[in-house]
Amino acid sequence: QVQLVESGGGLVQAGGSLRLSCAASGRTVYSMGWFRQAPGKEREFVAAVTWSGSGTYYADSVKGRFTISRANAKNTASLQMNSLKPEDTAVYYCTAGETINAVTTAQGYWGQGTQVTVSS
């Protein structure tokens, strides 16, 4: 089993920045990522990163603004979010899995989520 704990959410004004972190415990996870779910909407993919960190994947809506990275020694992944917009408001969920495909298709393990609110 894998346990994922997110941190770093909060309230920020439009144009501001936040950094989310996700710590995995239980066993080593090879790929990690983030999804988000806004009120009344389905959960959607945001970003993912491979074990080596060299493979990163982003939703078109966040490309150029968000950066995902990981620190394998700490079994963690981070999501740096810049130029935030009100439409980025959502609960952000960390996910992890054996493969990048498992992560990007929402077939991995899940954290409990952290709220990000961007005010206009």
DSSP state of 1: -
84 has pLDDT over 90: yes
With 80 as the cut, is the pLDDT of residue 52 above it? yes
For residues 101 and 107, give the distance between their C-alpha atoms in angstroms, rounded to a whole number: 8
pLDDT of residue 73: 75
Residue 63 CB neighbours (<10 A): 10
Residue 71 has pLDDT above 90, yes or no: no
Judged against a pLDDT cut of 90, whether residue 30 lies above it is answered with: no
pLDDT(72) > 90: no
Name the pLDDT band for 28 (thresholds 50, 70, 90): confident
| Confidence grade of residue 35 (pLDDT, cut at 50, 70, 90) | very high
Mean pLDDT across the stretch 77-103?
Answer: 96
CB 34 within 8 A of CB 92: yes
CB 9 within 8 A of CB 30: no
> Dihedral of the CA atoms 71, 76, 80, 84 (nearest 10)?
170
SS3 (DSSP) at 8 = coil
